Amino acid sequence: GVLAYVAWLHITSQYTMELPFSQPEELSTQEEISAEPEEDAFLRIEPVEFEGLDPSKPMVALSFDDAVTGITGDYLAILEEYGCEATFFVVGYLAEKQPDIFRLLADSGMELGNHSYSHEQLVGLSVERAAEQFDACSALMTGLAGEEAAPVLARPPYDRVDGRVLEASAVPVVLYSLDARDADAETAEEICGRVMGSVTDGDIIRLHDGCTQTVEALPSLLEALREAGYQVTTVGKLFAS
């Protein structure tokens, strides 16, 4: 998929967190990462076997941006009912406003990702300022729920990334290959139709926390994916399998 790639970064610098965050400077679009990354931009790791997943069969990852919200628990209940895992990309200030819901998410066993602290545009920021966004979110997550709640992936807001954003993240940066555009959908059926009309093996499906139509669509979507022969898992397990 055009928008699905991972870059592994080892960041040793420490940055000072300063709030509130400044607005990004103007940046030429030519500085953004190409939609067709170089071959060596992909994360290379040895395949790992996970209980309940067969790497020889079709597999997709479910991911939810903009966690947490007042209805995160509804997502978790449905995923648990269907025995599925997913990746939730957490916005720091949202978790800060609803710490109990974040702890519920952290305790659920779902994979956690970093979606920045304030959900501002990171392209155009310096490496230091972008790192402040990621670091503030990570620190909040572990402060609320312990080291086990540390994010293992990052997804920049607004699907935009450049070299400075990649350098700013201490964990792999991943986008997606299939956008359900659920936040703009009027019905649950529309969401299911968008996904099932385009899904292929290896897709990272992007959905959103906080959308009632997405919660309504989730049971039908999980059933449809299974009926079509897809295993549903996290982003990390998809890449590792």
Kindly report, residue by residue over 40-84, the tens digit of the pLDDT: 444 445 667 788 899 999 999 999 999 999 999 999 999 999 999
Query: How far apart (Å, rounded) are the C-alpha atoms in residues 62 and 6?
Result: 16
Average pLDDT over residues 149-173: 97
**What is the pLDDT, as a whole number, of residue 98?**
98
**What is the pLDDT, as a whole number, of residue 65?**
98
79, 126, 140, 165 from 11: Cα distances, Å: 33, 15, 19, 12
Sign of CA dihedral 196, 200, 202, 208: negative
111, 209, 222 from 155: Cα distances, Å: 13, 14, 23
Query: How far apart (Å, rounded) are the C-alpha atoms in residues 42 and 28?
Result: 24
Q: Per-residue pLDDT tens for 179-200? A: 999 999 999 999 999 999 999 9
**Residue 100 near residue 125 (C-beta atoms within 8 A):** no
Q: Per-residue pLDDT tens for 217-232? A: 999 999 999 999 999 9
Q: Per-residue pLDDT tens for 79-111? A: 999 999 999 999 999 999 999 999 999 999 999
Which tokens go with 39?
């071959």
pTM equals: 0.83
Query: How far apart (Å, rounded) are the C-alpha atoms in residues 202 and 55?
Result: 10
Asked whether the predicted pLDDT for residue 135 surpasses 60, the reply is: yes
C-alpha triplet 213, 216, 220: angle, nearest 5°? 125
Q: Per-residue pLDDT tens for 25-43? A: 443 333 454 444 444 444 4
**Residue 233 near residue 61 (C-beta atoms within 8 A):** yes
In whole angstroms, how large is the CA radius of gyration of the chain? 17
In whole numbers, what is the pLDDT of the chain averaged over residues? Answer: 86
Asked whether the predicted pLDDT for residue 214 surpasses 70, the reply is: yes
**What is the pLDDT, as a whole number, of residue 241?**
82
